[in-house]
Amino acid sequence: MADTSFLDPGQLAAYFALMEVSSLLQHAVDQQLREDGGLSYIQFQILATLGETPDEPQRMTDVADRLVHSRSGLTYQVTQMAKAGLLTRAPSSDDERSTMVSATPKGQEVLAQVFPGHVELVRQVLLAPLTRADMDALSDILGRVRAHMRADPPRSAAPRRRSAHDR
């Protein structure tokens, strides 16, 4: 069995590169969204999620699950965004406990206003130095990691851990 106490240089390099690139990218993306539309990245994600289905409002819980928020955290963001006129809340007709959220025309406007700069930034910061083969390899490798993360949360490494949702 492999020594489990250390990562060899190649493993460390992959880990550090990922952490540093994502940190820089996150930072850059956050600034762009803030400047071009006054949005945080999470607000952008929420808006983008709602913008995909302009006709179909989505449940709070579904949005929260998708974006790994605590419920109260999502309530906070949605409250801010509703104040800003980017989305609206309405009680569900199916289940009166549920709140359905949908992007307003203004929300879609802001999304459209922010999007070109966002795409441009991603292109310049992340994609510019990559070949098509690099991008494919990156999606493939990280896609596998993502599938693994979703399927198999690291219980044995953090046995005391419980997510906000399983109590």
Residue number with CB closer to its own copies (82 or 117): 117
Site for its own copies in 127-166 (CB under 8 A): 127-130, 132, 134-139, 141-149, 153-154, 156-158, 160-161
Q: Where are the beta strands (DSSP E) in 6-138?
A: 58-59, 87-91, 99-103
Piece of 78-86, 87-95, 98-106, 125-133 that binds its own copies (CB under 8 A): 125-133
Q: Which of 19, 47, 54, 63 is nearest to 118 (CA)?
A: 47
Contact range with its own copies by CB under 8 A, out of 57-65, 70-78, 102-110, 114-122 = 114-122
- In whole angstroms, give the CA distance from residue 118 to residue 108: 15
Whose CA is closest to 107, among 85, 77, 83, 75?
85
List residues bridging with 100 in a β-sheet.
Answer: 59, 90
* Contacting range for DNA; rule: CB under 7 A; set: 8-16, 68-76, 123-131, 135-143: 68-76
Contact status: 112 vs its own copies (CB under 8 A): no
10 Å Cβ neighbour count for 56? 9
CB of 27 to its own copies, least distance (A): 7
Residue 20 vs residues 15, 17, 23, 149: alpha-carbon distances, Å: 9, 5, 5, 19
| 69 versus 118: smaller Cβ distance to DNA | 69
Residues that bind its own copies (CB under 8 A): 4-7, 10-11, 13-15, 17-28, 31-32, 35, 68, 116-117, 119-130, 132, 134-139, 141-149, 153-154, 156-158, 160-161
